[in-house]
Amino acid sequence: MTTPQRRAATAFLAVAATAGLLLSACAPTGGDDADEKVTLRLVWWGSDDRAAVTRAAVDAFEDAHPNITVETESLPFDGYFDRLSTQVAANDAPDVQQLTGDFVVEYGTRGALLDLANVSTDLLDPATTSVVNFDGEQLGVPTGIATFAIVANPTIFEQAGVPMPDDESWTWEEYAQIAQQISASTPDGIFGTQSLGSDSNQIAMWARQHGGDLFTADGQLGTDEKTVAGFYAFAKELVASGAAPSADEAIEQIPLGSNRPEPPSTATRWASGRPTSSSLEQISKSGLELLRYPTTSGKAGDQKMSFVASQYWSASARTEHPEEAQLLIDFLANSPEAGKLLLVGRGSPANSEVRDALLPLLSADDAKVVDFVAEISDEVVATPLAPAGGASFQENMRRYTAEVLFDRMSPEDASAALLDETRAALG
């Protein structure tokens, strides 16, 4: 750590809080013929640990359904969707697939996914479940859930002599003041907050708190130039006041992504990218604390927190065994036995009963994150998934963040240009 950027530590960290176990009660009873020998193909991406627990859950499913054999395949994330898309195009997709939300949208709109009408969703998180229900067809169910939150390092707060905020009532003005005070009261290289503008989830949250959504359910922009300009202006204010690192350092951080390792002295920052179990480990094993977002009003409940699915289970519309494929998905999503095997590999329990049932089985660190997810579960709002044309939004947003932070464009001009490009991409 020889450069200023590598020495810099921040106080506020927005990261995906995850922990995953799945479990519930209502499951389909069987396929059309419980004696018929059936073979299913199941594919996912992830670590060796994820593969081990998934295969253990599959073994339990096969024990309960001796007529069904499940062929499993664990792949690296790089190239996963290229391979899967080729298989989908060739009508050779696996029966059951692990997908991200954007690919549920893409494959679903092409008629490539099965309606999971026989999979129980009664106890699954409604926000992440409803966003993949299209025209009454349930095209996926969450493997687990995550939330983006502010993460604070109590050690740096204590070092700066700054009390931890009340996350049910603090405002963005107070957030900026706290971050500036931490920067001023700690050694060089420690900042109160990471610079903003590196992740689309930040603007999405800002849009929700200002009465809109980044994208609407019908795939259009749901926010306006004034709101996005306000976000860019706030990001610039944090840098100008010294609450966040300089523009040079901020732009260097952007390509590193949300789940990059942070120095032990990190006080707070924002994260970007997909929620992962590795980000959970970074939070829970380093003494960091999860906080709700600040609000514009200072009123509890106005945070507009949201859940996102860690991934989704979906089935191919061309599977020769739709009943059995749904049996497998329901088992992975809703069975207590599966939940005890899958544990935290794919996010916090999507099923409320699983969340309660598995807390006693978790380590203190894992339980802390699951507790936070449970605590805010009544406060979250459903947020539409990004449409296919929104794939370039984050890259474009980052480009205009640089223009604003380096004073090459005003927040207003950057906002107008960003939204014009987005409208053109959406068509």
Cβ neighbors of 155 (< 8 A, separation 6 or more) are: 265, 267, 287
Query: Which part of the chain has CATH 3.40.190.10?
Result: 18-146+308-376, 196-243+387-427
pLDDT of residue 66: 96
CA distances from 191 to 10, 62, 162, 184, 333 (A): 4, 53, 13, 8, 41
When pLDDT is averaged across residues 228-247 and rounded to a whole number, the result is 95
Q: Which fold has domain 196-243+387-427?
A: D-Maltodextrin-Binding Protein; domain 2 (3.40.190)
Q: Which fold has domain 18-146+308-376?
A: D-Maltodextrin-Binding Protein; domain 2 (3.40.190)
pTM: 0.78
Is 231 in a helix, a strand, or coil? helix
Collapsed DSSP state (helix, strand, coil) of residue 187: coil
Q: From 45, 30, 120, select the one nearest 78 (Cα to Cα).
A: 45
Torsion of CA 202, 205, 211, 216, to 10 degrees: 90
Among the ranges given (65-74, 327-336, 364-373), the one the predictor scored with the smallest mean pLDDT: 364-373
Task: Collapse the DSSP code of 395 into the 3-class scheme (helix H, G, I; strand E, B; otherwise coil) and give the result.
Answer: helix
Q: Residue 415 — very low, low, confident or very high, per pLDDT cuts 50/70/90?
A: very high
For the chain, the straight-line distance linking the first and the last C-alpha, in angstroms and rounded, comes to: 45
Hey, is 168 helix, strand or coil? coil
Maximum alpha-carbon separation in the chain: 71
pLDDT at 297 over 80: yes
Q: Is the pLDDT of residue 419 over 80?
A: yes
* Residue 406 CB neighbours (<10 A): 14
Q: Is pLDDT at 109 greater than 90 in this prediction?
A: no
